[in-house]
Amino acid sequence: MSWIDWYNTLLKPSWTPSPATIGLIWRLLYPVILFSLVFVIVQVIRKKLPWPVLLPFGLNLIANLLFTPIQFGLRHLPLASLDILIVWATILWMMAAVRRPYPWLAAAQIPYLLWVSTATVLQLTITWMNR
């Protein structure tokens, strides 16, 4: 069964966005995520930020990239729920890590945080409905 056929068999809340909408939102967010990571890497190289500031950005990227293989490859809803909670928590950590030296960079994460907050509630709801 293809991933979309499997996804379509899951019980989902009525407010679930379409896969096309979800894909569009991620296509808009990924450039901001990439820019933020590259900016932080450059500032660490220039010694304007300490290297530990990279940790939440790196963990966020890894957890973000792992979500799709976990959700749609392994089809493991509880593990995908744990993963998206890590994504959400690392966004907050990222924002806190850059808030003082680069408040604009922390603010740039707000759309990402809002979307992942929505996606987290959606994922937890789908996981609960399909337990």
Mean predicted confidence (pLDDT) in 120-127: 98
In degrees, rounded to 5, the angle at the alpha carbon of residue 95 between the alpha carbons of residues 49 and 105 is: 70
Residue ranges covered by each domain of the chain: 18-129
Give me the half-sphere count of Cα atoms (radius 13 Å) on the Cβ side of residue 68: 10
The arithmetic mean of pLDDT across residues 102-126, rounded, is 98
Give exposure, 59-73, as e/b (b: 16+ Cβ within 10 Å): bbbebbebbeebbee
| pLDDT on residue 6 | 97
pLDDT at 110: 98
| Rounded distance between C-alpha atoms, residue 32 and residue 116, angstroms | 14
Condensed to tens digits (0 to 9), the pLDDT of residues 18-63 reads 999 999 999 999 999 999 999 999 999 999 999 999 999 999 999 9
pLDDT reported for residue 29 = 97
How many Å is the Cα radius of gyration of the chain? Answer: 16
Q: Residue 102 has what pLDDT?
A: 98
CB 70 within 8 Å of CB 83: yes
pLDDT of res. 127: 98
Nearest alpha-carbon partner for 116 in 83, 87, 77, 75: 87
